Amino acid sequence: MLRDLVTGDLSALVAEAALLKPAWIQGVVVQAWSPGSDRILFLQSTAGVTELKEVAVATGEVRPVALPDYTSLSHPAVNLQGEVALVASGPTISARVISKSGEALRIHQRGTSESIPQDDLPSPYEIQWRAKDGEAVFGIYSPPTSSRFTGEGLPPVIVHIHGGPTSSVMVGCDLEAAFFTNRGYGYLAVNYRGSTGYGRAYREALRGVWGYLDVIDAAGAAQALIDQRLGDPGRLVIKGGSAGGYTVLNTLIRFPGLYKAGICSYGVTNLFTLAMDTHKFEERYTDSLVGPLPEAAEKYRAWSPEFHAEAIQDPVAIFQGEEDNVVPPSQSEAIVKTLRANGVPHEYHLYPGEGHGFRMAETRRAYYQAIERFLQQYVVFS
C-alpha cells in the first residue's frame, strides 16, 4: 500500500497478488526498494511458483524479472548499483545465493554440495481438484524419478500434509520428496485451504474449522490422485508433522481405509492441551483456528484425535521428540495407548534430545530408515 503524503489516502500499488508468508514465520523479506526509490522489487506466488517482479511507483506498471530455472525465491535485496540478490532454488537446484545485474546472473554461494544427479531429482508441478463444495484445492505433485530404475503401473504415493497449518509447499528442490520419488513413490504435497500463497480468502478459509476443512481436503487429495491416475488407489499413504500430523490422525479417524497407512510426526492430538500449554509464541493461536474457549469446547473435543483414536484402523507410524515443548510426548503417547489397546498395527519412535522437529543427523537417518521399513511392510509388500 502507498500513502499520499498530501491527502493521506492509501492506494494499492499491486492488487490481487499473493505476496506474504504466514505471519508466524520470522525473518520474512518479500520486497526491496530500488536505489532511486522509483521501483519496488517484490516476490509473488502463482501456481506454486515464486516469481520476482518489479513495479514502478509512479505508474503502477508491473513487469517480471527473468530468473530462468528458479521457481522458489526469498529474501530479495538490492545494492546501490541496482544489483538484486536473492536466495533461489528450482526443482533440480538446491538453495543458492544468486544476484542479477542487467542480464548477468551470478551464483555466490550454494546451500548444499549439489552432488545428487539431476536425473534422480523429481520435476514437481501443481495439480488441482475440486472439493465437494466446488472450491478449488491445490497440491504439488512429484512423480517417481530415478536414473537407475523403472516401474510399471500406478505408483504408491505419499500424500504430505504440511504444518503451520497456514504454511505452504512451493515448486522447488524438495529433498524429502526426492527421497521417496527415487524409491518409486509419487509425492503429493497438499496445499489445503488455509495454506498461504493462494490469496487471503484461501488462507482464511480455515478460520474456525481447523480439524474439519483440512481433513476434507486431505481426503480429497487421495481422490484426486485416483481420478487423475497419478497413484495406486490401494497404496496411498498420508504423512505429516505437527499441524500436519494432526490432520493425518483426523483423516485416518474420519476416512478409515482411504489411506493404506499413516505417518505422524509430533502431531497435535489434544486441542485443549495445545491451547492451555503451548509456548508463548503460539498462545491463543487456536482461538482463530478453532474458536475461543470455553465457547468452542464442543469443536475442541470433536476435532481432537485423542478422543476418537478408537476409530483408527489403518497402520500408523508415530515419531516424537522427547524434549518437544510444543507438542509434548504425552500427546503422541495417548494415541499409542489406544492403538495398542485396539491391536492396530503401529510403531512408536521416541527420539532423546530432539524437540519439535528433528535436527540431529543420526535422528534424521533413523527416522527415514524407519519410514522406509514401515512402508515396505504395510504398503509395498502387504
Tell me: do 135 and 76 sit in the same domain: no
Tell me: do 234 and 141 sit in the same domain: yes
- Model confidence band, residue 27 (pLDDT cutoffs 50, 70, 90): confident
Q: Which of 87, 110, 133 delimits the end of a domain?
A: 110
Tell me: do 134 and 69 sit in the same domain: no
Quote the pLDDT of residue 283.
59
Quote the pLDDT of residue 24.
63
- Model confidence band, residue 343 (pLDDT cutoffs 50, 70, 90): very high
* Alpha carbon distance 181, 144 (integer Å): 4
Mean pLDDT of 327-348: 97
Burial class (CB in 10 A: 0-12, 13-18, 19+), 369: exposed
- Cβ atoms of 312 and 256 within 8 Å: the answer is yes
DSSP 272-311: HHHHHHS-GGGTTHHHHHT--TTTTHHHHHHT-GGGTGGG
State pLDDT tens for residues 131-143. 999 999 999 999 9
Tell me: do 179 and 287 sit in the same domain: yes
Nearest to 133 by CA among 50, 29, 209: 209
Tell me: do 150 and 244 sit in the same domain: yes
- Cβ atoms of 355 and 323 within 8 Å: the answer is yes
State pLDDT tens for residues 107-120. 999 988 888 888 99
- Cβ atoms of 154 and 229 within 8 Å: the answer is yes
> Which 3 state secondary structure label does DSSP give 61?
coil
Looking at every residue in the chain, the average pLDDT score rounds to: 92
Number of domains, the chain: 2
Quote the pLDDT of residue 138.
97
Nearest to 215 by CA among 140, 281, 274, 302: 302
Tell me: do 278 and 241 sit in the same domain: yes
Mean pLDDT of 341-363: 97
Mean pLDDT of 275-303: 83
Q: What is the residue range of 258's domain?
A: 118-380
Helix locations, 182-262, DSSP H: 200-204, 213-227, 243-254
Tell me: do 61 and 141 sit in the same domain: no
- Model confidence band, residue 28 (pLDDT cutoffs 50, 70, 90): confident
Tell me: do 138 and 167 sit in the same domain: yes
Q: Which of 70, 90, 110 delimits the end of a domain?
A: 110
Tell me: do 287 and 157 sit in the same domain: yes
Locate 179 and state its grid cell.
527421497
The pair phi, psi for residue 67, each rounded to 5°, is -135, 80
Quote the pLDDT of residue 276.
81
For residue 26, pLDDT over 80 is answered with no
The pLDDT > 70 percentage for the chain reads 95
Q: Which of 93, 110, 127 delimits the end of a domain?
A: 110
Tell me: do 37 and 94 sit in the same domain: yes
For residue 281, pLDDT over 80 is answered with no
State pLDDT tens for residues 291-320. 999 999 999 999 999 999 999 999 999 999
Task: Tell me the CA distances in angstroms from 123 to 16, 93, 142, 174, one per residue in order.
Answer: 28, 11, 6, 10
Q: What CATH number does residue 154 fall under?
A: 3.40.50.1820
Beta carbons within 10 angstroms of residue 187's beta carbon: 28
Quote the pLDDT of residue 17.
63
What are the residues whose beta carbons fall under 8 Å from the beta carbon of 345, sequence distance 6 or more?
315, 316, 378
Q: What CATH number does residue 19 fall under?
A: 2.120.10.30
* Alpha carbon distance 361, 138 (integer Å): 32
Residue type, 169: V
Over the Cα atoms of the chain, what is R_g? 22
> Which 3 state secondary structure label does DSSP give 29?
coil
pTM for this entry: 0.91
- Which single residue is written with the C-alpha cell 507410524? 317
Tell me: do 265 and 371 sit in the same domain: yes
Quote the pLDDT of residue 278.
60
Mean pLDDT of 171-194: 96
Quote the pLDDT of residue 241.
97
Tell me: do 47 and 102 sit in the same domain: yes
* Alpha carbon distance 3, 9 (integer Å): 5
Quote the pLDDT of residue 23.
65
Mean pLDDT of 10-18: 71
* Alpha carbon distance 91, 144 (integer Å): 14
Locate 79 and state its grid cell.
545494492
State pLDDT tens for residues 194-237. 998 888 899 999 999 999 999 999 999 999 999 999 999 999 99
State pLDDT tens for residues 31-42. 899 999 999 999
* Alpha carbon distance 67, 87 (integer Å): 12
